[in-house]
Amino acid sequence: MKIRSIINYLALALPAVLALIGLGDEQFYMYALLSTAVTGGIQVLLALTMLPNHNSSLLYSYLTITALFFIVWYFVNSEAIFAVPPALAIFLTYIIYVERKKEKLIS
């Protein structure tokens, strides 16, 4: 679980680091925007790898909200929907924190 936590934090830091580099070179702003999709993909993969080992209703909620996001995004052309991915990133970070804490209490 510790490795998942580290991967999650690195994935979250990637867009921020690229945006900071973008202060010197504007091309990195585009890389920062594109890396948010990579971050989302990494987080979905982390959630899917957690499924076999962790029976958490929070994890199932995360995956359901993620699926609903893509369904709504397909049918609704609204810019307000782009507030959902940052909330999902925070939610998965919280889930990983809770699951990691549970593992420490058990072992």
Domain carrying residue 17: 2-106
Q: Report the domain count for the chain.
A: 1
For residue 16, pLDDT beyond 90? yes
Other residues' Cβ atoms within 10 Å of the Cβ of residue 77: 7
For residue 103, pLDDT beyond 80? yes
Cα distance between residue 82 and residue 5, in whole Å:
24
Cα distance between residue 34 and residue 30, in whole Å:
6
**Mean per-residue pLDDT for 28-47?**
94
Other residues' Cβ atoms within 10 Å of the Cβ of residue 83: 8
Other residues' Cβ atoms within 10 Å of the Cβ of residue 54: 17
Average pLDDT, the chain: 91
pTM above 0.75, yes or no: yes
For residue 50, pLDDT beyond 90? yes
